[in-house]
Structure 1
Amino acid sequence: MKFHKVKAGSLQFAIMISAIIAVLLSVFIVLVHSHTLFAKKSDLLIETIQQTENILLAKSQDFSVKRDTIFSQIDTEIATSSKIHQSYWGMYGKTYVETKSKAKSFKKIALTSGWQKDEDRIGLYLQETNRPLIIVGNTKIEGKTFLPARGVRAGTISGNSYYGNKLVYGTILKSNETLPELPKQLTNYIASLQTLPLPVDDGRYINLKQGNTYTNSFTKPVKTVFDRGELDLLDVKLIGNILVRSDKKIKIAASTTLKDVILVAPEIEIETNTKGTFQAIATKRIIVGKNCELSYPSSLVILAEDTLEEVSNSTEKEHIFIDTDTTMKGIICYLQNKTNNRFEPQILLKENTTVEGFVYCQQQIELLGNIEGSVYTKGFITKQFGSVYQNHIYNGTISNVALINEYVGFPFENLDYKIVKWLY
C-alpha cells in the first residue's frame, strides 16, 4: 500500500472552503431567523393597524352615546390595548383611537357624522306653523317632504306663477310643531367655543406672518390664532388642528388657504373667490362672497341669542348670507329659538348658489339658489319686487335625490355614523 503526502497548501485550502461554507450557513440561518422575526413583527404591526381601524369604525357608529376616553385590553397574550377618545370638531364628531402592541403603537383619527339611506333621507322638513307652503316660478321640491297640515300651493308673485308639473316630486307627510332636534351635546359644544378659555402656554399660539404655512397634526394639542380686535387672514396657509378666534370679526381673503381649521367670532366674512375646507362658527353674521368654493366637509354655523327686539339696521341682523355663483359642500346651521325679525331671512342663498349637504334653520330661509340634500326649517321667506312673502319659495330648488348616496353629514342622533374623512 502506498501512502501519498497531502500538501499543506491543499489542506489549508480545504479548511478555508469548509470555513467559508460554515460562515455562509451561519449567515443563512441568521437571515432566515431574522426574516421570520421580521415577518412576525410585520404581521403584528399589520394586525395592530387593522385593529385600530376596526375599533375606530366600530366606535364611530355609537358616537352619540360615548364621548369619554376609554381604555380596553384587546389581547392579553400579545399585550394589545387600545385608547379611544370621542369629541367634536365643529359640526362633526371626532374619534381618536390609539392601539398599542408590545413596543408598537398606531394612531387613527377621523371625523364622523350621521349617514342615511336614500329611502330614509328627507328632502324638506317644514315645521308646522299653521301656514301652507307657497311655491312660485321655477321652484322644485324633490324627495320625501314633511309639510304643515295646510300643505303646499302654487302661487303668484308680480305676474310670475308656478311653472312645475307637480307641487312636490315625492312623498308628502305631516310635519310637527317642532323641528327634529340636534344633539344637546353638540349645541352645547358649539356654544362653548365662543367662551373657550385661551391657552396659557405660549407654544400653543400661532403668530401669523403673510406668506407662511402653518400646519398642526390632530395627534397634537390644538393651536390657536387669536385677536381681540378684527382679524384679517391674508396670504397665509392654515392646515389641521388649528382654532382661529376673534372677539369681533374674522375676514378671510381669497389669497388665504384654510384646510380643516375652525373659525370662531361674532362675525365672519369670506371674501369673493375664496376656496377652502373649513368651519365658520359665529353668533351674529357669516357673509360668503361671490364665486367661492367651500369644499366638503365645511360648515357655516350661527348660534344666536334669542331676541324679542326688531332690528331695522341690516348690518345688525343675524344671518348667514351666501352670494351668487358660490358652492358650499357640508352643513349650514342657524340656531335661534326666538326672534322678532319675522320679515327677514336668517339664511339667504342668492341666485346660482349650490349647497350640497344639510341645511338646518330654526327660523326662516330665503332660497333663490339650489340645495342638493336635506332642508329642515321653521319657514321660508322671499323679498321680491318691493314686497315680503312669508312661507314662499321663489325659483329655489331642493332635491335630496341629487345628493350622492355616500354623503355623510347628518348630525342627528340615532343614525348610523360613518367616516367623513380621515385626519392626520
Structure 2
Amino acid sequence: MLKAGALYFAVISAFLIAVICASLIMIAAYYRESYLRELRRVRLERNMDSSVAYVLKHQGPLGMDSVTLDLLGAETDSVSISNRYWGIFECPVISAFVSRDTIKKSFLIGMDTRMDTLALYLSDEDRPLSVSGDTRVKGDAQVPKSGMRKSYVENRPYSGYKLVYGKILESGRTLSPLSGDMIEALEKELDKDVSAMEVLPGQNMDVSFFGPEKVFSVPLAGEVTGELSGQVVLYSDTSVFITRAAKLNNVVVYAHSITVEEGFEGNCQLFARDSIIVGDKVVLHYPSVLGLVAKEKTVDQARILVGKDVSIAGMVFSYEPKRSALQTMISLSEKTRVEGEVYSTGLIKLGKEVSVEGKTSCNRFIMQTPTTLYENFLVDVTLNRRARDRHYLSSPLFEAKGQQKRILKWLN
C-alpha cells in the first residue's frame, strides 16, 4: 500500500512536468512568432527596396494619384505608392504591407545632372560676353556666336590666362525650357484662393510626411516667426515677411511677394509672383529654392533680390511665359555664394565676388557701377561648375537629357 507522501510527491512531480511542458510550448510559440515576424520584416524591407527602385526607374513624373501594386503577382506582396509635388521636387510616399504589418518611407526625388558640364549658358542676342578683373569661368560655356572677349572695367584688365577653363560652345536664341507640367503646378498653387484656409496659428509645429499636409494662410500682418517643420504649406495673396527668429525646415511658401529678414537661417522653398527679397547674411540650406513665376502682363519688373554675403544651397530661378520689355531679373549682391543653379528667363545681375558653384543660365548679364551700367559683362565673379558637390541633385523643373532620378532627402 502506497503512503500518502508518495501520492503527494507524484502530484507535485506531475505539476512541475506540466509547468515545464507548458513553458516549452510557450517558448516555442514565442520563437516561432518572432521568426515569422522577422521573415515578414525582411519581406517588407525587400518589397520596400523594390518599390523605391521602381519609383526611381520610372521615366517622367509619376502619376499624382495613389496606386497599389502586387509586386510578384501572388497577392501577398503589396505596396501602395502615392506621389505629389513638394515645391519643385517629386515626393512619393511608399507603404509596403503584409497582413497587418506595414512599413512606410517618404523622400524627395532629385535629378542626377553630373553629365551636364556647363558652368554658363548665355542666350544669343548678337552681343559678345566680356570678362574683366578676377572673373573665372570653370567648366564648359555656351555663349553667343559673337563669342567672348577680354575687357577693361574701372581700369582693370582681365587677370586670367584663359577666357574659359573648359570648352566654349555656341548657344541658341533661347534658354532650355523649364518643365511645363511643373510650371503649371506652381501657377495653380500661386493662384489659390486663401480666403477659406485656416490662419497660421502662433504655436510651433512639426508635421509628418506620412499624414495629410497642413495648409495655412499667413495672417494679415504677413509675418512668419515660429518654428515650422515638415509637411507645412503657407499661402498669401499679398506679402509674407519671414523674420530672422523663424525656423523653417522643408516648409513651402506661396505668395505674391516674399521678404526674408537679414540673418535668417533655414531650409525652405519660396515661390512668388512679383518679388522675392532676401536680406544680408541669410543662410538657406540644401535643398532650398527661390522661385519667381511671373504673369504674362506685369506693370513692374518681377525680380529676385539677394543681399550681401548670402549663402544659398539649392536653386534660384525666374520664369515668365513670354519675353516682356521688363524681363525678370535675378540680382545677387556682393560676396553671395550659390551652390546649385541660377536660371533666369531674363536678366542676371551679379555683384563683385559673387560665386556660383554650379550652372548659371540667362538671356543677359548686367552689372552696375556708380557711373555705368554694363550689359553682358562679368567682373570679379566666379562661375565654377567643377566646385559643385558631386552628390548635388537638381530638380525635374530643369529638363535635360540623360538625367537619372536619385533620392535627394529622406523625410519623416
Percent of aligned pairs with the same residue? 25
The aligned residue for residue 279 of structure 2 is: 289
The question of whether the paired residues in 2 share the 8 Å contact of 1:301 and 1:332 is answered with yes
User: Which residue is equivalent to 2:101?
Assistant: 104
Matches within 5 A, 1:304-383: 304-307=294-297, 316-336=300-320, 337-341=322-326, 346-368=329-351, 369-383=354-368
The question of whether the paired residues in 2 share the 8 Å contact of 1:91 and 1:331 is answered with no
Query: Are the structure 2 counterparts of residues 361 and 55 from structure 1 closer, same or farther at C-alpha, using a change threshold of 3 Å?
Result: same
Cα distance between partner residues in 2 of 1:196 and 1:61 = 33
Shift of 1:42: 2.4
2:166 aligned to which of 163, 166, 170: 170
Question: Residues 263-315 of structure 1, C-alpha deviation per residue, up to 9 Å, x if partnerless?
Answer: 11111000000011001100111111111110011100001123486xxxxxx
Matched, 1:251 2:241: yes
Which of the residues 89, 93, 112 maps onto 1:92? 89
Which amino acid in 2 is paired with 1:167? L
Q: Distance in 2 between matches of 1:279 and 1:207?
A: 17
In the alignment, what sits opposite 2:212? 221
Aligned to 1:312: none
Q: Find the aligned partners of 1:53 and 1:372 in 2 and give their Cα distance.
A: 33
8 Å Cα contact 1:308-1:338 kept in structure 2: no
Return the TM-score normalized by structure 1. 0.89
* Residue 62 to residue 289, structure 1, CA distance change in 2 (3 Å): same
Query: Deviation digits for residues 13-56 of structure 1, max 9, x if unmatched?
Result: 24423431332132122212221222212221232134224312
* 8 Å CA contact retained: 2:218, 2:240: no
Q: How many residues align?
A: 405
**What's the CA shift for 1:66?**
2.7
Partners of 1:85 and 1:196 lie apart in 2 by: 23
Q: Secondary structure at the match of 1:36?
A: helix
Paired residues of 1:230 and 1:248 also in contact (CA < 8 A): no
Structure-2 residue corresponding to 1:58: 54
Paired amino acid for 2:285? S
What residue is the counterpart of 1:313 in the other structure?
A: none
Tell me, yes or no, if the aligned pair for 2:218 and 2:224 is still in contact at 8 Å.
no
Amino acid at match of 1:349: L
Instruction: Report the AA paired with residue 233 of structure 1.
Output: V
Structure 2: tracts of 5 or more residues without a match: none
Q: Residues 93, 65 of structure 1: CA spacing in aligned structure 2 closer, same or farther, 3 A cutoff?
A: closer
Return the alpha-carbon distance in structure 1 between the equivalents of residues 294 and 63 of structure 2.
26
> 1:329 is aligned with what amino acid?
A
Matched, 1:420 2:408: yes
Cα distance in structure 1, aligned partners of 2:248 and 2:64: 29
Task: Report the Cα distance in structure 1 between the residues aligned to 2:298 and 2:405, rounded to whole angstroms.
Answer: 37
| Equivalent pair of 2:111/2:405 in contact (CA under 8 Å) | yes
Aligned partner of residue 17 in structure 1, secondary structure: helix
Contact 1:320/1:347 (CA < 8 Å) preserved in 2? yes
Equivalent residue runs for 1:37-186 within 5 Å: 37-62=33-58, 64-69=60-65, 70-77=67-74, 79-117=76-114, 119-186=115-182
Secondary structure of 1:284's match? strand
CA spacing shift, 1:102–1:224, aligned 2, 3 Å: same
Query: d(CA) in 2 for partners of 1:185 and 1:78?
Result: 34
How do 1:261-272 residues align onto structure 2 when only pairs under 5 Å count?
261-272=251-262
Looking at structure 1, the residues matched to 200 and 302 of structure 2 have their Cα atoms a distance apart, in angstroms, of 30
Tell me what 1:32 maps to. 28
Quick check: 1:81–1:101 contact (8 Å CA) kept in 2?
A: yes
CA contact (8 A) 1:53 1:108 kept: no
CA distance in 1, matches of 2:134, 2:78: 58
- Any conservation in 1 of the 2:113–2:394 contact (CA below 8 Å)? no
Q: After superposition, what is the alpha-carbon deviation per residue over 1:98-123, rounded to whole angstroms, capped at 9, x for unaligned? A: 22211122222111121122x53321
2:382 corresponds to: 397
2:89–2:395 Cα contact (<8 Å) kept: no
| Distance of 2:53 and 2:123 partners within structure 1 | 34
Corresponding residue for 1:205? Answer: 198
Give how far 1:137 is off. 1.2
Q: What's the Cα RMSD here?
A: 2.1
Shift in Å, 1:222: 2.0
Structure 1: unaligned runs, 5 residues or longer: 310-315
Separation in 2, partners of 1:97, 1:403:
31
179-188 vs 5-14, which moves further: 5-14
Q: Which of 245, 264, 269 matches 1:274?
A: 264
- Distance in 2 (CA, whole Å) between partners of 1:45 and 1:105 is 9
C-alpha separation in 1, matches of 2:10 and 2:150: 105
Specify the SS of the correspondent of 1:325: coil
The letter of the residue matching 1:196 is K
8 A Cα contact 2:88 2:395, kept in partner: no
Q: Aligned match of 1:233 in 208, 219, 224?
A: 224
1:283 alignment partner, SS class: strand
CA contact (8 A) 1:308 1:340 kept: no
